[in-house]
Amino acid sequence: MSIETAVLVRRNAWTLPNGDETLAAYAAAVRAMRERDADNPTSWAYQAAMHGTSAEPPEPLWNGCQHGSWFFLPWHRMYVYFFERIVRAAVQETGGPADWALPFWDYGAGGVQATLPLAFRDSPGGDNPLFVAERDPRVNSGRGAIPLSAGSPAAALERPLFIGRTQFGGDVTRVGQFWRSPGVLEQTPHNILHGLVGGDDGLMSNPLTAALDPIFWLHHANIDRIWFDWAGEPPHADPSDSRWTDQTFSFFDEAGQQVQLTGAEIGDISGQLGYTYESAPTSGAPTSRPEAVTMSTPNPPDPEQAEMVGASEQPTELAGAPADVTVPIDRATVESLAGGGNAPEALSERHVYLNLEDIEGERNPGTAYGIYVNLPEGASAAQAASHHVGNLSFFGIEQLREPRGDEQAHGLRYTVDISDLARELAAQGSWNEDALHVTFRPIEPVDPEAPEEEQHAVPESLSEHSPVQVGRVSVFYG
């Protein structure tokens, strides 16, 4: 069999057959790569620094990661692809399988699969290369699982378009490390996983250290798999804009040689890059509104063009406990948008966006927040699930204080399309035309045995953390 022409299969780390060597071979390769000189591009430290590092002076191709941008998905696909080739070469040198491929961690499948794969936990001898102490201790021990509301790709997979801030892949930006236009997949599950695994101050919580954790790569294989799955579902399509398809990014291959790829060269993973995935993402049960209304307009309006109808007056501080904010809505603006008609009519034809901006903090606390709209007082966890519109997480918050994109940034920004929920509430007569009520509930690792509905409950033990501020919450009609 010729290795050059075979398509390698990336498999689920939790369901590898007994006696499978994939993870042991990865561990041996990680150990070997850690022993290489730091200025060798195929060393563990160099590969991680290509994502991000605070080390000075930077070596060639360091600090290359693309975040908050439509380049997030292609850059990380290329990065993981070349990393996998480097690992495979190290696996072969250490006597492992010639067809080694990177496994993925399908935390969105829920249950035991939402806990850290066993091979990454502490081992009795204490010398497991896949274990790092700098993770949330609950996740690291397997006591805490990623809740489905954070790990499920369901909301991302429902987005009809690639390009856009409330769409699958993020909005148009130039090349640069940290922008403020992530797509839905980048937010959930990507960003939120980083914080939940890294916890307060762990490696995964900060882009400048994340790729030093061996689980980083299995997380990104999973994100790449979700993209592969979404793109294979007509009429979904990757961007055809030449600013995306012709954009070149540079990496190192297993020989330590600089190599380049463009967006046009990576869309067909088996044909162009020689790998595929053994199974499509399991999205668990849909986490938001079980009877989810299908997208009403195939080409939703650009949130940038939408009109603001209300904004919060005070910043909201998040420090580990639930928090609420009321956004007064200006009736006159809503009515003028409806061309003099009444507000419910305005709603049925329009897209409603919730915009969170000027999100600032010293560092990523790890804890993320579920965002709920018009959540009734004393709602059960199951009711809460139907008011859940997205998650707020803080991966990259340190970098946005001194961004490496060339945008003058003021913290993170996050926009959610809440049109479907707004229409449902209006149909039930429970849409308040004068105000929108937004609730933030902390998301922490959960008991892996907890029933799914309970995953929307307020966590029992709240852990206080260094505060994060949401400067303004506003509502836009598009």
Q: How far apart are CA 170 and CA 292, in angstroms?
A: 22
Please name which of 191, 360, 385, 380 lies closest in space to residue 287, comparing C-alpha atoms: 385
- At a CB cut-off of 8 Å and minimum separation 6, what does 234 contact? none
Contact with ligand C2O (CB under 6 A) among 27, 32, 48, 65: 65
Does residue 57 have a cis peptide bond before it, meaning omega lies within 30 degrees of 0? yes
Whose Cβ is closer to ligand C2O: residue 331's or residue 404's?
404
Q: How far is the CB of 51 from ligand C2O (least distance, A)?
A: 5
Binding-residue pattern over the window 172 to 201 for ligand C2O, x denoting contact by CB under 6 A: ------------------x---x-------
Q: How far is the CB of 456 from ligand C2O (least distance, A)?
A: 25
Whose Cβ is closer to ligand C2O: residue 367's or residue 439's?
367
Looking at beta carbons, which residue is closest to ligand C2O?
Answer: 65
Does position 350 interact with ligand C2O (CB under 6 A)? The reply is no
Q: Render 189-235 in DSSP notation, one character per residue.
A: IIIHHHHHHH-TT-GGGSTTTGGGSTHHHHHHHHHHHHHHHHHTSTT
Whose Cβ is closer to ligand C2O: residue 165's or residue 194's?
194
Please name which of 320, 279, 291 lies closest in space to residue 441, comparing C-alpha atoms: 320
Q: How far is the CB of 76 from ligand C2O (least distance, A)?
A: 6
Please name which of 450, 459, 462, 438 lies closest in space to residue 390, comparing C-alpha atoms: 438
Output phi, psi for 230, to 5 deg: -60, -45
Does position 207 interact with ligand C2O (CB under 6 A)? The reply is yes
- Calculate the alpha carbon distances from 56 to 44, 49, 352 in Å: 17, 11, 45
Q: How far apart are CA 289 and CA 424, in angstroms?
A: 10
Q: How far is the CB of 381 from ligand C2O (least distance, A)?
A: 29
Vertex 229: Cα angle to 98 and 412 (nearest 5): 105
- Strand residue runs (E) in 340-424: 352-361, 368-373, 388-392, 412-417
Q: For residue 141, what are its two tokens?
A: 């021990």
Specify whether the backbone of 9 is left (phi greater than 0), alpha (psi in -120 to 50) or beta. Answer: beta
Whose Cβ is closer to ligand C2O: residue 407's or residue 433's?
407
Does residue 41 have a cis peptide bond before it, meaning omega lies within 30 degrees of 0? no
Whose Cβ is closer to ligand C2O: residue 25's or residue 215's?
215
Binding-residue pattern over the window 125 to 154 for ligand C2O, x denoting contact by CB under 6 A: ------------------------------
Whose Cβ is closer to ligand C2O: residue 51's or residue 465's?
51
Please tell me what DSSP assigns to residue 46: H
- 275 DSSP β-pair partners: 8
Strands 352-361 and 468-477: antiparallel
Q: How far is the CB of 42 from ligand C2O (least distance, A)?
A: 19
Q: How far is the CB of 178 from ligand C2O (least distance, A)?
A: 10
Binding-residue pattern over the window 219 to 258 for ligand C2O, x denoting contact by CB under 6 A: -x--------------------------------------
Does position 10 interact with ligand C2O (CB under 6 A)? The reply is no
Does position 51 interact with ligand C2O (CB under 6 A)? The reply is yes
Whose Cβ is closer to ligand C2O: residue 164's or residue 182's?
182
* Count, residues near ligand C2O per rule CB under 6 A: 9
Q: How far is the CB of 421 from ligand C2O (least distance, A)?
A: 28
Q: How far is the CB of 175 from ligand C2O (least distance, A)?
A: 14
Strands 248-252 and 388-392: unpaired
Q: How far is the CB of 328 from ligand C2O (least distance, A)?
A: 37
Residue ranges in 66-95 that form contacts with ligand C2O under rule CB under 6 A: 67, 76
Chain centroid to Cα 376, Å, comes to: 28
Whose Cβ is closer to ligand C2O: residue 67's or residue 441's?
67
Q: How far is the CB of 211 from ligand C2O (least distance, A)?
A: 8
The contact set with ligand C2O (CB under 6 A) reads: 51, 65, 67, 76, 190, 194, 207, 210, 220
